[in-house]
């Protein structure tokens, strides 16, 4: 791989967020487990220590009761011993009367005190008298010299013992007192107290059990009958006799050859304050009597069995867990054990642990929800902030744009204003120019008119001068005929000048128009007749295409002037041609009558089409025309309420279209009638 010189990134160095999450979750789970474990341990220890305190109190109470109930019987043998008949019987054992009295005494005392049996032994241990003398299997004659209580009494002490009676097979506690005479032990009085009675006085709740073991760890008295004649594991019993630690079943003479089996009690662990946690398996599991290792003990200590498994069964069917405490009662030679059922502790522990777990989970979930909610709120606030910022930015942008647009608008407005001003200025300039032009045109027209008039007048004036000069010369020579001819010419010229003046006057002074019903054909014929000499001279053919009897509203003289002007112009235009033709078409329409006059002249140059009706516009040479004809004609037609237009025909030549109001008799009559 080519070295790029870039910094290498080690992704493993940084924890990926999901990995970190996983790690945190693992930590949380581990922490939760630890807390639960500690809670379980703590509450288990707490409940256990409480139970321990309570059971210690109960144990003391039971021990006290037991002690008291036995102490009640302690002096019974002594009472008997001081009786005369007893002492007498010991002195003379063959005395049947004394025997009978002793037996009766014992029976009576036995019945009164509630003890099981009372009997009298001679120094050899042979029974002399007994409370059960009248029973088939009475003690009389039997020798108890080997019994420890007898031996103790013979030594002058109060003998105590407990055992199963060889006859009655009942468990009993034996008190043996020496019967002294003159300081010498002459016999022994024995009282047996039934253990069953003691057991019956034990009231246990079922959540606790009591038992008593002898100095060999054998259960002798028990609140639970099934546990009787079981031997405790040596590790737990207070026995000092290692020979009794044999695991198998043994028989004991003390217990009337009853089979002694190991008690399937497994050592759990010790409590600091005293007591052991033990397990009792009624089926005899193979855990044996061995002391468990510390590790095992520790493990058991925290072992929480499911509630079902620890439900107490008073049939002894299930493995049970107890807190066991003992109290050695040395004066009696036994040890009292109190067992408190701790399955409830396990249930309580489980409850507390579950409760704590639920609370922690609830707290955790609550915290989680709270954190999530806060995060959501923060996110929402952030979003709102962002959108607010975005809005502000958009608003700013908008404002900028509006400003820009406003600036543009203002600029274009200014531009427009300046353009308008410019246009106004241009317009003004144009108007000025137009005015100047009009002025110039007026001046030009004036010049034109002056030139025209002076020309028109100069010519005849010059002619008149020369004619009159000539006439004077001719008068001198007395050539009167020529003078006359000259004067005639002068008169003609002045007439022409007068005509010109008349024309000018017509243009200058407007007279009001008075229209009447005029026959168009008549006026046209009259006009042609006036022009006839020129028409014939020029050999012009005139074609008239007319509608019959067309009457218009006009002034006949002026209409003649109009038609004469148009036809005269046509003749002027056709002058240079060889063949000359004028076509006149009269068309009558609804309200108007049109007269089209088409000559075959050169037509009107396009650029002049708009100007020919202007006064003093002429293309003719000076002296030929003043340019007033069409202008006057246009005014007359307008006065009639008609129109006059000039155009060029497609086949050549100019076309003048005259439009005049038509006179309709019917309409007129209708109007009159209306
Ligand atoms: P004038 O006849 O004195 O020139 P008008 O006003 O009658 O004045 O005519 C103006 C001009 O119109 C003429 O100079 C001529 O150029 C033009 N014009 C009028 N009639 C015709 C026509 N039929 N053909 C060609 N040009 C014409």
- What's the 439 CA to ligand 1 centre distance in angstroms? 24
Q: Determine the pLDDT at residue 659.
A: 95
Mapped onto helix, strand or coil, the DSSP state of residue 261 is strand
Report the nearest atom of ligand 1 relative to the CA of 617.
10
Q: 294-310: per-residue pLDDT in tens? A: 333 333 333 333 333 33
Q: Residues with Cβ within 6 A of ligand 1?
A: 565, 569-570, 573, 599, 601, 604, 612, 617-620, 625-631, 654
The residue nearest atom 24 of ligand 1, judged by CA position, is 573
Distance CA 125, CA 151 (A): 9
Q: Given ligand 1 and candidates 572, 607, 644, which is best to mutate, with the most ligand atoms within 8 Å of its CB? A: 572
CA of 625 relative to ligand 1 center, distance in Å: 8
Ligand 1 binding pocket mutation candidate from 445, 606, 612 (most atoms within 8 A of CB): 612
656 CA: nearest ligand 1 atom: 23
CA distance 566 to 615: 15
CA 271 to chain centre: 59
Whole-number Å distance, alpha carbon 603 to ligand 1 midpoint, is: 10
Q: Strand 230-231 and strand 580-588: pairing?
A: unpaired
Atom of ligand 1 nearest to the CA of 628: 6
Q: Which residues of the chain have pLDDT under 70?
A: 1-15, 166-168, 201-206, 235-253, 282-318, 441-442, 445, 448, 452, 503, 506-511, 622-623, 671, 674
Residue 659 CA to ligand 1 centre (angstroms): 19
- What stretches of 82-149 adopt beta strand conformation (E)? 117-121, 127-130
The answer to whether the CB of 145 falls within 8 A of the CB of 139 is no
Nearest protein Cα to ligand 1, atom 16: 619
CA of 592 to the centre of ligand 1 (A): 25
Strands 592-599 and 580-588: antiparallel
Could you give the dihedral angle defined by the CA atoms of residues 625, 626, 630 and 632, in that order, rounded to the nearest 10 degrees? -140
pLDDT of residue 291: 36
Nearest atom, ligand 1, residue 626 CA? 3
Which of 603, 630, 646, 653 most suits a substitution to test ligand 1, by most atoms within 8 Å of the C-beta?
A: 630
* Ligand 1 midpoint to CA 618 (Å): 6
Distances (CA, A) of 171 to 163, 219, 353, 395, 573: 6, 12, 46, 106, 180
DSSP structural state of residue 242:
G
**Considering only CA atoms, which residue is closest to atom 23 of ligand 1?**
570
Atom of ligand 1 nearest to the CA of 570: 23
The structure tokens 């007129």 sit at 668
Position 305 scores a pLDDT of 36
- The gap from C-alpha 505 to its chain's centroid, in whole angstroms, comes to 101
Instruction: Please provide the size of the chain in residues.
Output: 674
Q: What ranges in 240-342 are assigned the alpha helix state H?
A: 294-302
Q: Can you read off the two tokens belonging to residue 468?
A: 């009159």
Atom in ligand 1 nearest the alpha carbon of residue 631: 6
> Is residue 337 classed exposed, middle or buried when 0-12, 13-18 and 19+ CB atoms within 10 A define those classes?
buried
What digits encode the pLDDT tens for the residues 354-398?
999 999 889 988 988 999 999 999 999 999 999 999 999 999 999
- Residue-wise pLDDT for 422-455, tens only, equals 888 888 888 888 777 777 766 776 776 777 677 7
Residue with CA closest to ligand 1 atom 14: 618
3-state class of 320 per DSSP? strand
Per 3-state DSSP, the chain is made up of helix, strand and coil in percentages (nearest 5) of 50, 20, 30
> What is the spatial distance between Cα 219 and Cα 280, in angstroms, rounded to a whole number?
14
CB atoms within 10 A of CB 664: 14
Q: What is the reported pTM?
A: 0.47
Which residues are CB-contacts of 420 (< 8 A; sequence separation ≥ 6)?
none
The residue whose CA is least distant from atom 2 of ligand 1 is 625
Task: Dump the DSSP string for 416-427.
Answer: HHHHHHHHHHHH
Which tokens sit at 4?
Answer: 């790029």
Tokens of 495: 């007439």
Residue nearest to atom 26 of ligand 1 (CA): 604
Whole-number average pLDDT of the chain: 82
């Amino acid at each position: 791989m080519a070295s790029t010189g870039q910094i290498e990134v080690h992704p493993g160095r940084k924890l990926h967020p999901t990995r970190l999450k996983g790690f945190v979750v693992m930590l949380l789970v581990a922490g939760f487990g630890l807390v639960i474990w500690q809670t379980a341990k703590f509450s288990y220890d707490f409940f256990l220590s409480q139970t321990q305190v309570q059971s210690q109190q109960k144990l003391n109470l039971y021990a006290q009761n037991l002690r008291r109930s036995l102490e009640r019987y302690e002096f019974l043998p002594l009472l008997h011993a001081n009786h005369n008949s007893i002492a007498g019987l010991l002195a003379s054992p063959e005395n049947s009367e004394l025997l009978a009295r002793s037996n009766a005494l014992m029976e009576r005392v036995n019945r009164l005190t509630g003890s099981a049996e009372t009997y009298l032994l001679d120094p050899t241990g042979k029974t002399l008298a007994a409370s059960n003398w009248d029973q088939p299997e009475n003690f009389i004659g039997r020798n108890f010299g080997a019994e420890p209580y007898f031996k103790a009494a013979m030594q002058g002490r109060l003998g105590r013992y407990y055992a199963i009676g060889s006859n009655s097979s009942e468990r009993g506690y034996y008190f043996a007192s020496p019967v002294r005479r003159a300081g010498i032990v002459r016999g022994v009085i024995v009282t047996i107290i039934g253990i069953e009675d003691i057991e019956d006085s034990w009231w246990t709740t079922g959540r606790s059990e009591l038992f008593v073991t002898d100095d060999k760890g054998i259960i002798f008295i028990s609140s639970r009958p099934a546990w009787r004649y079981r031997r405790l594991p040596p590790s737990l019993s207070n026995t000092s006799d290692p020979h009794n630690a044999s695991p198998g079943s043994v028989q004991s003479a003390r217990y009337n050859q009853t089979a002694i089996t190991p008690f399937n009690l497994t050592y759990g662990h010790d409590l600091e304050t005293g007591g052991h946690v033990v397990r009792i398996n009624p089926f005899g599991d193979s855990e044996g009597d061995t002391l468990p290792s510390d590790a095992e003990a520790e493990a058991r200590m925290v072992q929480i069995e499911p509630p079902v498994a620890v439900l107490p069964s008073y049939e002894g069917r299930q493995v049970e867990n107890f807190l066991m405490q003992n109290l050695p009662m040395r004066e009696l030679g036994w040890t009292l054990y109190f067992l408190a059922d701790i399955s409830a502790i396990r249930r309580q522990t489980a409850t507390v642990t579950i409760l704590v777990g639920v609370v922690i989970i609830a707290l955790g979930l609550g915290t989680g929800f709270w954190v999530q909610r806060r995060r959501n709120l923060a996110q929402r606030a952030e979003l709102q902030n962002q959108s607010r910022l975005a809005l502000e930015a958009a608003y700013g942008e908008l404002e900028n744009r509006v400003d820009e647009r406003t600036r543009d608008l203002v600029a274009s407005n200014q531009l427009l204003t300046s353009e308008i001003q410019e246009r106004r200025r241009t317009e003004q300039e144009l108007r000025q120019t137009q005015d100047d032009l009009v002025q110039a045109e007026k001046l030009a027209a004036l010049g034109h008119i002056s030139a025209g008039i002076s020309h028109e007048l100069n010519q005849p004036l010059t002619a008149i001068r020369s004619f009159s000069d000539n006439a004077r010369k001719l008068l001198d020579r007395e050539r009167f005929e020529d003078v006359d001819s000259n004067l005639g010419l002068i008169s003609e010229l002045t007439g022409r000048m007068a005509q010109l003046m008349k024309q000018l006057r017509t243009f200058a002074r407007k007279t009001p128009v008075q229209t009447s019903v005029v026959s168009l054909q008549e006026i046209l014929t009259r006009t042609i007749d006036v022009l006839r000499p020129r028409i014939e001279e020029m050999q012009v053919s005139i074609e008239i295409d007319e509608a019959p009897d067309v009457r218009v509203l006009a002034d006949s003289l002026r209409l003649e002037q109009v038609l004469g002007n148009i036809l005269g112009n046509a003749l002027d235009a056709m002058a240079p041609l060889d063949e000359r033709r004028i076509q006149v078409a009269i068309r009558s329409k609804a309200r108007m009558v049109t007269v089209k006059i088409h000559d075959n002249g050169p037509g009107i140059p396009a650029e002049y089409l708009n100007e020919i009706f202007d006064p003093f516009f002429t293309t003719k040479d000076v002296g030929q025309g003043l340019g007033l004809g069409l202008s006057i004609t246009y005014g007359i037609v307008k006065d009639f309420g008609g129109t006059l237009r000039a155009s060029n025909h497609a086949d050549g030549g100019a076309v003048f279209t005259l439009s005049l109001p038509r006179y309709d008799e019917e309409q007129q009559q209708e109007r009159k009638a209306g």
